[in-house]
Amino acid sequence: MKFFHYFNFILIILLLVFICVAEDSVVSNSLSEIQTRCYQLEEMIERRDDLKNTEMTLAVDNLEYVWTRDEKNMCFLVNHKNIQEIGQEIAKLKLYIASNDIDAFKVSIEEIKFYCHSYLHFMGANWHNVL
């Protein structure tokens, strides 16, 4: 009879570990993709000194689409208040394109990268989450 108690205990621990690893995978993949797209935006700025072009607009629209898609999935895993700053900064990018404010655009990209980098460090799987 004790065998089934131990078996259930081990099964529960393994299930919790699997959930934490799946959470870490979803969150880190989403944030890494956002960071990669930010680096691509920085490369576009280096090639051109003008924000008002189709390539830049489409890149920001794609960034917003990816973030919106991933944010819906991450809201099940993390507190939405913790990740809403990224969405706000992406909305600012569109305003900066309209006003052609390159310096503010670069600052917003740096903010997005900073938030992604910070969140990657504390939203991972760890023993505290498992227990």
Label residue 53 by pLDDT band (50, 70, 90).
confident
- Provide the pLDDT for residue 63: 92
**In terms of pLDDT, which residue wins out, 24 or 105?**
105
Q: How far is CA 42 from CA 31, 39, 70, 96, 109, in A?
A: 17, 5, 22, 14, 8
**pLDDT tens-digit map of 81-124:** 667 888 899 999 999 998 988 899 999 999 999 988 888 776 65
- Give the containing element (helix H, strand E) for 47: helix 2-47
56 phi and psi, to 5 degrees?
Answer: -70, -45
User: What's the CA gap between 100 and 110, in Å, rounded?
Assistant: 17
User: What's the CA gap between 100 and 28, in Å, rounded?
Assistant: 32
Full-model pTM: 0.78
User: What's the CA gap between 109 and 41, in Å, rounded?
Assistant: 8
CATH number for the domain formed by residue range(s) 2-130: 1.20.120
C-alpha 123, offset from chain centre? 10
User: What's the CA gap between 120 and 131, in Å, rounded?
Assistant: 20
78 phi and psi, to 5 degrees?
Answer: -130, 165
